[in-house]
Amino acid sequence: MEMTLGVTKGGQPWEQKFISGLDEAKCIGCGRCYNVCSRDVFDLTESEIEDDYGDDQLIMVMTIKDDSDCIGCQSCDKVCSKNCHTFEA
């Protein structure tokens, strides 16, 4: 795939980088990347875990549904407060 190198409105060079991974240990399941992605790359699902007291709890877990739909805008990374995403050019 040919990479597009561009320039931002402010004159800074910009290069497309596509999603290649998501660190589920860092992710808090807030859904920000899910909401900002217009390409339906992510999937926010419920998962059951056992807490420290042996009780089952439902948590939200973010996964990559289809990384081939990523357009390289990196909007997901811009809204993520936990730096969960990894990218490749």
| DSSP 8-state class, residue 3 | P
Whole-number pLDDT of residue 3? 61
Q: CA 46 → CA 43, 57, 82, distances in Å? A: 10, 10, 19
The domains located in the chain, with CATH, are: 28-88 (3.30.70)
Q: Mean pLDDT over all residues of the chain?
A: 91
- % helix, strand, coil for the chain, step of 5: 15, 35, 50
Could you report the per-residue pLDDT of 55-86, keeping only the tens digit for each?
A: 998 888 999 999 999 999 999 999 999 999 99
Note the pTM of the prediction, 2 decimals: 0.78
